[in-house]
Amino acid sequence: MEIIIQPTTEAAVSVAARIIARLLHDKPDAVLGLATGSTPLPLYQALIAMNLDWSKVTTFNLDEYIGLPRAHPQSYHSFMWENLFQHINIPKENVHIPDGHAPDIPKFCSDYEIKIHEAGGIDLQLLGIGTDGHIGFNEPTSSLTSRTRIKTLTQQTCADNARFFGSEREVPHHVITMGIGTIMEARQILLLAFGCQKARAVAEAIEGPITSMNPASVLQMHQTAKVCLDEAAAAKLQRADYFRWVYDHKPEWQDF
């Protein structure tokens, strides 16, 4: 894993935006795996401001709540269109977001896997991390080889996400999420984490054992996973000084 610690969230976002801009420059028809939530919001704003060409890009979102109509303000469909897609030139047919209203959800999930495969696989998967270490909505104890499927959120995730809804009672308990095996097949992974509330999950994922109790720890097995952190999210890393040193001494040819 490449751990990139930046002094501020803004600086970490700018590194992440550069990584994605570089990919779209090198591969205009790239396939991106996208995330929702608070973490990617400033990144999406940065990408919109960069005026990149998304006309050949294909996207697959990680997850969606089951039971929320697409038009619900908290559905991940609404989130993605409001915060990214309506501001860029991506063709509508290139956008894929799990359908929490599909009549046959298990079939939808296996079809989603097929669509990712048919698109050539994901070039870069963007991830946030839950306070319990989840990636996508793969909660602790998820199989590390899981595929797209239905998951039940933990009480902690429902409580964390209550801030987007009127109350915790309104947070759907069930979701569709890409599996950990699906995520691990992406050619590049870029995990972002900002703020002190993520520090423990981040430290366990990077420096702890690989365990389904912290699903993000599986990224230790990925060959090209980058983790972009602000200082607050990096606060519990024992080797933070080493990670900073490595980044500051990156050879020019390794830069993005």
Is 170 one of the catalytic residues?
A: no
DSSP string, 198-230: GHHHHHHHHHS--BTTBGGGGGGG-TTEEEEEE
Residue 241 annotated to the active site: no
Distance CA 184, CA 218 (A): 8
Task: Specify the residue, 38 or 224, whose C-beta has the smaller distance to ligand F6R.
Answer: 38
* Under rule CB under 6 A, residue 215 binds ligand F6R: no
36 or 146: whose CB is closer to ligand F6R?
A: 36
User: Per CB under 6 A, does 139 bind ligand F6R?
Assistant: no
Kindly state whether residue 63 participates in binding ligand F6R, applying the rule CB under 6 A: yes
Does the protein bind ligand F6R through residue 39 (CB under 6 A)?
Answer: yes
Of 116, 13, 8, 135, nearest to 60 by C-alpha is 116
Determine if 179 is a binding residue for ligand F6R (CB under 6 A): no
Collapsed DSSP state (helix, strand, coil) of residue 191: strand
Give 190 or 240: the residue with its C-beta nearer to ligand F6R.
Answer: 190
Residue 80 binding ligand F6R, by CB under 6 A: no
**Distance of alpha carbon 222 from alpha carbon 43, whole angstroms:** 23
Residues 6 or more apart from 142 whose CB is under 8 A from it?
134, 151, 179, 180, 212, 215
* DSSP states of 95-126: EE---TT-SSHHHHHHHHHHHHHHTT--SEEE
Judged by CB under 6 A, which stretch of 6-14, 46-54, 81-89, 125-133 contacts ligand F6R? Answer: 125-133
Which listed range, 2-10, 29-37, 43-51, 66-74, lies at the site for ligand F6R (CB under 6 A)?
29-37
The single residue of 64, 99, 123, 139 carrying the catalytic annotation is 139
Residue 28 backbone zone (phi > 0: left; psi -120 to 50: alpha; other: beta): alpha
Q: Least distance in Å: CB of 35 to ligand F6R? A: 4
> Contacting ligand F6R (CB under 6 A), which of 42, 100, 136, 172?
136
> Would you name the residues annotated as active-site residues?
63, 132, 134, 139
State the residues that interact with ligand F6R by CB under 6 A: 35-39, 62-63, 128-130, 134-137
